[in-house]
Amino acid sequence: MNISVLGCGRWGTFLAWYANKIGHNVMLWGRETSRNFIGLKDTRRNDYLSLPEDLELTSSLENAVSFTEIIIISISAQELRSFANRLSSLNEIQGKTFILCMKGLESTSGKRLSHVFGEEVGKNINTAVWVGPGHVQDFVNNIPNCMVIGSDNIEVTKKIVQELNSDLIRFYYGQDLIGNEIGAAAKNVMGLAAGMLDGLNYSSLKGSLMARGTREISRLVRAMGGNDVTVYGLSHLGDFEATLFSEHSHNRKFGQALVEGIEFGKLAEGVATIKALRKLSIQYDVQLPICNALFEIIFENKNADETLKNLFLRPVKFEF
Ligand SMILES: NC(=O)C1=CN([C@@H]2O[C@H](COP(=O)(O)OP(=O)(O)OC[C@H]3O[C@@H](n4cnc5c(N)ncnc54)[C@H](OP(=O)(O)O)[C@@H]3O)[C@@H](O)[C@H]2O)C=CC1
Ligand SMILES: O=C(CO)COP(=O)(O)O
Query: What is the ipTM metric for this complex?
Result: 0.99
pLDDT, position 296? 98
Domain boundaries, the chain: 2-173, 185-313
- DSSP H helices in the chain: 10-21, 35-43, 61-66, 80-88, 113-121, 136-139, 154-164, 177-199, 206-223, 240, 250-259, 270-283, 289-299, 304-310
Among protein residues, the one with the nearest Cα to ligand 2's atom 4 is: 133
Gap from CA of 217 to ligand 1 centroid (Å) = 24
- Lowest model confidence (mean pLDDT) among 89-93, 169-173, 198-202, 275-279: 89-93
Q: Is 266 left (phi over 0), alpha (psi -120 to 50) or beta?
A: beta
pLDDT 10s digits, 146-188: 999 999 999 999 999 999 999 999 999 999 999 999 999 999 9
Q: How far apart are CA 93 and CA 84, in angstroms?
A: 11
**CATH fourth-level superfamily of 2-173:** NAD(P)-binding Rossmann-like Domain (3.40.50.720)
Q: What percent of the chain has a predicted confidence (pLDDT) above 70?
A: 100
Gap from CA of 102 to ligand 1 centroid (Å) = 7
How high does pLDDT run on average in the chain?
97
Task: Tell me yes or no: is domain 185-313 CATH 1.10.1040.10.
Answer: yes
Atom of ligand 2 nearest to the CA of 251: 9
Residue list, ligand 1 pocket, CB within 6 Å:
7-12, 30-31, 34, 36-37, 74-77, 79, 82-83, 101-104, 131, 134, 267, 269
